[in-house]
Amino acid sequence: MPLPSVLEKTKMVENKNMPLDVKLSPKDFVTDQDIRWCPGCGDYSILKQVQTVLPELGLKREEIVFISGIGCSSRFPYYMETFGMHSIHGRATAIASGLKATRPELSVWIVTGDGDALSIGGNHLIHLLRRNFDVNILLFNNEIYGLTKGQYSPTSPEGKITKSTPLGSLDHPFNPLALCLGADGTFIARSMDRDPVHLREILKRANQHKGTSLVEIYQNCNVFNDGAFELFTEKSTKKLETIFVEQGQPLLFGEHKEKGIKLDGFKPVVVELKDVSANDLWIHNESDPLKASLLSRFFDSSSYLGHLPRPFGVFFVQDRPSYESQMANQIEEAIKSKGEGDLDALLKGKNTWTI
Amino acid sequence: MSKSHEIKKNVVILFGGDSGDGIQLTGSQFTNTAALFGNDISTFPNFPAEIRAPQGTLAGVSGFQLHFGSVELYTPGDACEVLVVMNAAALKTNIKQLKPGGIIIANTDGFDNKNLKLAKYPDGVNPLKDGSLEKFKVTEMDVSKLTKTCLADSGLGTKEIDRSKNMFVLGFLYWMYNRSLESTIDFLKEQFKKRPELIDANIKVLKAGYNFGDTTETPMMRYQVEPAPMEKGVYRNMIGNQATALGLIAAAKKSGLDLFYGSYPITPASDILHELSKHKNFGIKTFQAEDEIAAISSAIGASFGGNLGVTASSGPGIALKGEAIGLALMLELPLLIINVQRGGPSTGLPTKTEQADLLQAMYGRNGESPVPIVAASSPSDCFDAVFEACRIAIEHMTPVFFLSDGFIANGSEPWKFPQSADLPVIKAKFAKAPEKAQEKYLPYKRDERLVRDWAIPGTKGLEHRLGGLEKENETGNISYDPDNHEFMVKIRAERIERISHYIPLQQIDNGKEKGKLLVVGWGSTYGSIKTAVKECIAEGMEVSHIHIRYLHPFPKNLGEILSRFDTVLIPEMNNGQLIKIIRDRFLIDAVGLNKIKGMPFTTSEIKSRMLELLKK
């Protein structure tokens, strides 16, 4: 008798006494563990938005897996009533790759931070993106090392004074979205902890995308790097310093959306809407890699681009077959052309002799 | 001149040439032909780390040692009777391996001034002409020229013609040992099926080599090596890394699990990846990761998902995997870590063999982190040993080390392959959801073996979190409680120790239950120790041999066996690693014999140490 496959086994162990699927609510995703993040940490909001969005995605709880590395953000799986793994520093992306390769039907979420994803785990991140496994990466960026108590991170600005850089950091920071676009990520987006509505929207979009979805989430570390993103989150400055991009819509910002971005050749320039027609503005197109690349460069003020508002939203989406689907195809093709593997034939090989 | 056939019990041929000369191919073709004929065989390929070291230099010499015979063989032989050299460098490198009176077959084209200079012979010195090879029988032939003449009308380019010269040598050796060309002809047809002109050319040269022996006045006798009296059955030739790959496939099949193999290329482990990736029709998923850490991490992810997760590397790569091995141990998930050992430390000697990673497997992680270790003792034994390693990993929910090394990974021998029905079934224990919905699933609840269940994603009611942080027993919740930590460290040690109840007792390979001298080996030293002990026993000495496959935990009766001998000798291709563990564990004053030359032990090296100890 052929042995059952893993999936058949999964069905076999499923208990028939369990209640039929009822509509899940956010509290179905809450675990009995005390949350140990510092009071006021931006992670609380992100956790809440994830727990709020999940019931709306039509997934079964047992099909969801959260995998994290090390860092404050990486405690996340302990607080999610799903399958989860709190792994080792920087490797969540690699672990998730192996899981998704072998269990494509699962919904796999990676929770990571700027140190975990971009420093110690930088290599795995770029390779995951180019391979395009269908997983969601939530990259909590707080521009600091929180769990080790306040050293600069690969996204900290140059000159940052921290415990390990009393005279200022010499490191030039990563621009995470430019990096991920460079690695040919197929879904690149940015949101923030303090805009729950926007974050939930982006999480849903990330889930929909078939391929690796990378969501950078600006997250405030109120203990070691308080206010790192306050330009983008505080009422007094948010409207002038941020720009929320939407597919097919012109790039508008300002107190009353009175400003826009226009492209002067390849150079984005800030214009007053009263001076130009909205049709002349940069219209956001998620499928344009060059525009996405330019958008990712709305970063720290540069002498070339000048000061620009920081974009949030989905920068780029591309349809590209996922690694796991191609892997499954290869196996299917191999079986088609050679027949299902026969262990006895394999052990025997082509050249034998009898004694 | 008449050419009679002298009967030989066993012969060692050493093929030597440039790494571009096709030496490995020539050697493996002769091996297959000898095996198909029914000889026992043992081979030792020995090649430089550089893919194409400068042509003609000493650094570029590639070797293939083949021992075949009508008697049972366990080693590739201490020294050779026939040395085939394609150039001066190959002669210089290998001449010390040739027995006095041995045969040298030299390609004279490889002894021109340029080649002699590259081999660093003094100006004007040609070993073929200065009488320095007097104690050997030298047969010179201008292989390059003969091949060129043979293929003059083939329309092939100079390079392609030159490349087939190894077939001339092979044909000549087939003549010498009275072998059929058939299996090599079949191989050539398969190998070049897209280039029929190369099939014809190679076959022509192969036959020319054979006929050269037949028609020329070669001052040399022909030899007959009869089939070996091996156990009845059907055999095939098996290379170590190939056996490892087949063992993994078999273990996956017999456990009903899908095999996931995450690996990063490294010598001498890469051939396992190559072999597995050929068999995707078994549902095998091979993943060439971006680095060693990703390789093992992806395998951990696959194991978490209910697959047989496997990763392989050699010493330097294993060093990189250390932290992830610790994670797998904390997660208590099945994982197989293969180390095809090579000379170390650091990059060390990538293409040479060594057994110096035993302590790395045993202790090479932070914290108290015991991992079972299983080692293979010969090329074909890789199959059984890796199958066992998988069984322990799956049935005991733990990462397991499987140790092989460059010697057995590339070496080959006849293998009486098993039938899949005769292989034991491996039983994975998957968790069942709690009876009642409100009951909480306890991921670290253990059975009498202290093994937890495997709760894989997708199973309703089993949602749980695992992690590398210290955890409370049963619930798996994070715990910093001091007593709990001590308890968990001890339970992780105990559950590995208990595996000793589920492995076979240590057998005595050869010799009596007690006596004067016990030789204790592990891994690829098996053949040399086996032969040395066999010879000593035949000479009436009171010696025995045990070979330890289960290095952690040890078989339950090991200490008792050791205590029955006056002296315990532990030969190892390292500076003394198993001996440290044995001394520590059993408080016995074992004696070491250590060779750290990147080369396997010869039988005589082991035998002479045994004789010394017996004299005392």
Residues of A in contact with B309 (CB under 8 A): 98
Three-state DSSP at A269 gives strand
pLDDT score at B437: 72
With an 8 Å Cβ cutoff, is A166 touching chain B? no
- As beta bridge partners, residue A86 has A68, B467
Question: What is the amino acid identity at position A200?
Answer: R
Residues of B in contact with A84 (CB under 8 A): 463-466
Q: How far is CA A290 from CA A266, A293, B283, B540, in A?
A: 10, 5, 39, 83
DSSP B507: P
Q: How far is CA B97 from the centre of its chain?
A: 22
Q: Determine whether the interchain pair A18/B461 forms a contact, defined as Cβ–Cβ distance below 8 Å.
A: yes
Confidence of residue B321 (pLDDT cuts 50, 70, 90): very high
Q: Determine whether the interchain pair A343/B249 forms a contact, defined as Cβ–Cβ distance below 8 Å.
A: yes
**Six-digit token string for A143:** 């521009």
**Six-digit token string for B404:** 């092989």
Question: Which chain A residue lies closest to B432 (C-alpha atoms)?
Answer: A13
Domains parsed from chain A with CATH numbers: 6-233+321-348 (3.40.50.970)
Residue B513 confidence (pLDDT) above 70: yes
Distance between CA atoms of B47 and B42, rounded to whole angstroms?
17
DSSP A119: I
Domains parsed from chain B with CATH numbers: 5-224 (3.40.920.10), 236-422 (3.40.50.970), 515-615 (3.40.50.920)
Confidence of residue A9 (pLDDT cuts 50, 70, 90): very low
pLDDT score at A350: 87
Three-state DSSP at B596 gives coil
Residue A1 confidence (pLDDT) above 90: no
Distance between CA atoms of B486 and B483, rounded to whole angstroms?
5
Confidence of residue A300 (pLDDT cuts 50, 70, 90): confident
Q: State the average pLDDT for chain B.
A: 95
Residue B216 confidence (pLDDT) above 50: yes
Question: What is the amino acid identity at position B219?
Answer: P
pLDDT score at B220: 66
The length of chain A, given as a count of residues: 355
Q: Which residues of B472-483 are buried (b: 16+ CB within 10 A; e: fewer)?
A: bbebbbbbeeee
- Calculate mean pLDDT across residues B102-108: 95
Point out the least confidently predicted range of A240-244, B223-227, B402-406.
B223-227
Torsion angle of the four alpha carbons A217, A221, A222, A223, in this order, in degrees rounded to the nearest 10? 180
Residue A13 confidence (pLDDT) above 60: no
Q: Determine whether the interchain pair A98/B301 forms a contact, defined as Cβ–Cβ distance below 8 Å.
A: yes
Question: What is the amino acid identity at position A181?
Answer: L
Three-state DSSP at B311 gives strand
Select the residue of B235, B253, B460 nearest A352 (Cβ to Cβ).
Answer: B235
pLDDT tens digits, residue range A107-153? 999 999 999 999 999 999 999 999 999 999 999 999 999 999 999 99
Distance between CA atoms of B198 and B194, rounded to whole angstroms?
9
Residue A7 confidence (pLDDT) above 90: no
With an 8 Å Cβ cutoff, is A97 touching chain B? yes
pLDDT tens digits, residue range B23-46? 999 999 999 999 989 999 999 988
Residue B20 confidence (pLDDT) above 90: no
The length of chain B, given as a count of residues: 616
Q: Determine whether the interchain pair B297/A327 forms a contact, defined as Cβ–Cβ distance below 8 Å.
A: no
Q: How far is CA B119 from the centre of its chain?
A: 30
- Placement of tokens 């004007």 in the chain: B124
Confidence of residue A21 (pLDDT cuts 50, 70, 90): low
For helices B603-615 and B526-538, what crossing angle results, to 10°? Answer: 50
Confidence of residue B4 (pLDDT cuts 50, 70, 90): low
Q: How far is CA B609 from CA B570, B593, B604, in A?
A: 10, 7, 8
Distance between CA atoms of B435 and B213, rounded to whole angstroms?
79
Residue A20 confidence (pLDDT) above 70: no
DSSP A117: I
Strands B373-375 and B565-572: unpaired
- As beta bridge partners, residue B166 has none
pLDDT score at B199: 95
- Calculate mean pLDDT across residues B535-547: 97
Chain B closest-CA separation from residue A327 CA (Å): 7
pLDDT tens digits, residue range B411-449? 999 999 999 999 999 999 999 988 877 788 999 999 999
Three-state DSSP at B199 gives helix
Three-state DSSP at B146 gives helix
Distance between CA atoms of B171 and B377, rounded to whole angstroms?
33
pLDDT tens digits, residue range B571-616? 999 999 999 999 999 999 999 999 999 999 999 999 999 999 999 8
Number of C-beta neighbours around residue B491 at 10 A: 14
Question: Which chain B residue lies closest to A354 (C-alpha atoms)?
Answer: B234
User: From the candidates B39, B280, B429, which should be mutated to test the interface with A, based on the most A CB atoms within 10 A?
Assistant: B280
pLDDT tens digits, residue range A92-109? 999 999 999 999 999 999
- Placement of tokens 């001034």 in the chain: B113
Distance between CA atoms of A70 and B475, rounded to whole angstroms?
21
pLDDT tens digits, residue range A44-73? 999 999 999 999 999 999 999 999 999 999
Task: With CA atoms as reference, report the closest residue to B395 among B432, B430, B427, B431.
Answer: B427
Torsion angle of the four alpha carbons B593, B597, B598, B602, in this order, in degrees rounded to the nearest 10? -60
